[in-house]
Structure 1
Amino acid sequence: MRDFTKELNFKTSRSSGAGGQNVNKVETSVTVTWNVEESLVFNDRQKSLITEKLKNRINLEGFLFLSVSENRTQLMNKNKAIEKILEIVNAALIIPKRRIATKPSNAKKEKRLDSKKKLSDKKESRRFKL
């Protein structure tokens, strides 16, 4: 897991939701921005992979934005934002394994057909015959 927290920029704002008077006075919502293209932690291939997988979160200038306002304190929201952005970026770097197509074995095919035949016979025996 790569740690690029030194490249993150934080901005606070007033949060909506529960909190009573606190909500109107204290800036607890935290917005994290990270410039993907100017990152020194990742190489060009990794940057293009991040940009491709997170294109719906990255704006035209190449900044990745994430806002967090889950908690009532700024510090907890900042920690949560760092945790989330690290998780999102590291998940984007994972290249899934290629799936190798397989076929069911002859024994499995035989077993499936046998169970279908048994069920068919059972239902046939229940039918009313004239």
Structure 2
Amino acid sequence: MTGWIPINRGLAIHTDEIGLRFVRASGPGGQNVNKVSTAVELRFDLANSPSLPDAVKARAAALAGSRFTDAGEILIFAERFRTQAMNREDAIQRLIELLAKAAIAPKARRPTKPGKAAKARRLDGKKRRSDVKSNRSRPVSD
């Protein structure tokens, strides 16, 4: 596996940045599960990746949560399928999805103030409610 893995339009990571290790998996597989290492442990060194900008790295670390190690790596464990190839593809696809989500910069929030009409509607509603409540009280006798 050599080359580049596209994340989105302007972003890709090199396959050399990904480390794959095959281990024994639990789950489906019959007798094979005890003999063949089909589960995949994918390691991606996020902290030292030259392919990703710092902003994407920071968002990816936050999105990875418990999958982000103290060493600055993203660790993905895939054992959903019965074959090494399918688990490898699953792990790589999950990494791509995580990095693609991290590549989307959050929209900056611009604080706004309510307009004059909105303030007037709010005050009108408060006045109406106040009138309703004051009309429930006992009439004042002269």
Place the TM-score, normalised by the shorter chain, in its bin. 0.5 to 0.7
Q: State the match for 2:12 in structure 1.
A: 3
Tell me the number of residue pairs that the alignment of Structure 1 and Structure 2 aligns. 123
Alpha-carbon shift at residue 25 of structure 1 (Å):
3.6
Alpha-carbon shift at residue 120 of structure 1 (Å):
4.3
In 1, Cα distance between equivalents of 2:123 and 2:36: 67
Specify every segment of 5 or more residues in structure 1 that has no aligned partner in the other structure, as ranges: none
Residue number among 24, 46, 49 corresponding to 2:34 in the alignment: 24
TM-score (norm 2): 0.64
CA RMSD of aligned residues (A): 3.0
* Higher-strand-fraction structure: 2
TM-score (norm 1): 0.68
Q: State the match for 2:46 in structure 1.
A: 36
**Secondary structure class of the residue paired with 2:80:** coil
Specify every segment of 5 or more residues in structure 2 that has no aligned partner in the other structure, as ranges: 1-7
Alignment of 1:106-121 (within 5 A): 106-121=116-131
State, as a whole percentage, how many aligned pairs show the same letter: 32
| Higher relative contact order, chain-length normalized (CA < 8 Å, sep 6+) | 1
Matched, 1:59 2:65: no
